[in-house]
Amino acid sequence: MKSQVLSLIAGRLGIAVITLLIVSFAVFFATSMLPGDTASILLGQAATPEAVAGLRKAMHLDDPAIFRYGRWLLGLLTGDFGTSYANGRPIMDLIGGRLINTLKLAAVTTLFAVPLSLFLGITSAMLRGSLYDRVVTLCTIGLISIPEFMVATTAVLIFSVSLGWLPALAFANEVHSLGELLRVFAMPVITLTFVVSAQMIRMTRAAVVETLNTPYAEMALLKGASRGRIVMRHALPNALGPIANAMALSLSYLLGGVIIVETIFNYPGVAKLMVDAVATRDLPLIQTCAMIFCLGFLVLTTIADIIAILANPRLR
């Protein structure tokens, strides 16, 4: 049985590696098909055709796409992410601080969103059919239906424009105390928590309800066990796999789907850097940011799959 678990885990890791390779192929060729010529954009409208041709040759843009992809993939595997087209700086230097800021935002949001989602999802499942359950369900459906840019814009209008409590822009590099941390991260975290918590609440509730409807949970209830004990001792351990998958899918949004939030609040993260790179058609920077998002998504989903395998009582 132990060998079966290890083979399943190895299979998940292998699938993740193959998926990342396929994604790298798609990212490279999709960004290469963006409209406009990189050399012309860098030199400006006054550039002569000879200057544009010379720059294209110097940047190896005339090489076959498959050769450029091979060099780029080899650089990724060796830790060389290349050089920015826009300013000539190493991409690692551009991304380093921005990635830390994005991870800070994701970590703070996770600290708020995960406990809140677990509490509301579990209590809603325990009290299913009650007024509390209906209110939580209605609120989560409403939050799922509202796009994040509307939540962010509404937060700015209320807390910055009307009340003046919080700054409209988030300057992550100016945090020197707990009070400044709360002020800087308040509105981005509120926005992201609303966006990611709704799905986690619904999936947690569904997983716990499904487990509570199993024969062993009903037998425990008939033997006099309290509903809270049934949930904590029986339902949650067996619902850990689906809950972990729901959390992984929701939290992966924090790494790749914060573009709107970082843009609205001018937060200096990787997503904002990627938006700026698209404007200047800085292909190496766009490709590296996209791969970071994809890697984060695959890491979270793979961890969730491994947790689901280890939490499966039949495999144990």
- Tens of pLDDT, residue by residue, the chain (316 residues): 567 777 777 888 888 888 888 888 888 887 777 666 666 666 666 666 767 677 667 666 666 778 778 888 888 888 777 777 777 778 888 887 788 888 888 888 888 888 888 888 888 888 887 888 888 888 888 777 777 777 777 877 777 777 767 766 655 555 556 666 666 777 788 888 887 888 888 888 887 777 777 776 667 666 666 666 777 766 666 677 777 777 777 777 776 556 777 777 777 778 778 877 877 777 788 888 888 888 888 888 888 777 777 766 665 5
Instruction: Identify the bridge partners of residue 301 per DSSP, sorted by sequence position.
Output: none
Kindly state whether residue 211 falls inside one of the protein's structural domains.
Answer: yes
Q: How far apart are CA 9 and CA 32, in angstroms?
A: 35
Closest of 275, 293, 277, 290 to residue 28, by C-alpha:
290
According to DSSP, residue 90 is labeled B
Instruction: Give Cα separations from 148 to 185, 247, 254, 257 (angstroms).
Output: 16, 18, 12, 10
Number of domains in the chain: 1
Q: pTM (2 decimals)? A: 0.72
Question: Cα–Cα distance between 234 and 214 in angstroms, integer?
Answer: 10
Residue 110 falls within a domain, yes or no? yes
Which one, of 215, 209, 165, lies nearest residue 187 by Cα? 165
Per 3-state DSSP, the chain is made up of helix, strand and coil in percentages (nearest 5) of: 80, 0, 20
Residue 122, domain member (yes or no): yes
Residue 15 lies in a domain: no
Q: Judge whether 182 lies within some domain.
A: yes
* Bridge partners of residue 83, in order along the sequence: 90
Phi-psi region of 170 (alpha: psi -120 to 50; beta: other; left: phi over 0): beta
Beta partners for residue 90, in sequence order: 83
CATH number for the domain that contains residue 135: 1.10.3720.10
56, part of any domain: no
| Sign for the pseudo-dihedral over CA of 167, 168, 174, 179 | positive
Do the domain assignments include residue 102? yes
- Tell me the C-alpha distance between 252 and 262, whole Å: 15
**Rounded to an integer, what distance in angstroms lies between the CA atom of residue 172 and that of residue 267?**
7
The predicted pLDDT at position 47 comes to: 65
* Alpha helices, DSSP H, located in 252-282: 253-256, 259-264, 270-279
Which letter, b or e, does each residue of 295-315 get, where b requires 16 or more Cβ atoms within 10 Å of its Cβ?
Answer: bbbbebbbbbbbbbbebeeee
Asked if 297 and 256 count as a contact pair (C-beta separation under 8 A), the reply is: yes
Is residue 252 left, alpha or beta, with left meaning phi > 0 and alpha meaning psi from -120 to 50?
Answer: alpha
Q: Which domain holds residue 198?
A: 96-301
Is 311 among the domain residues?
A: no
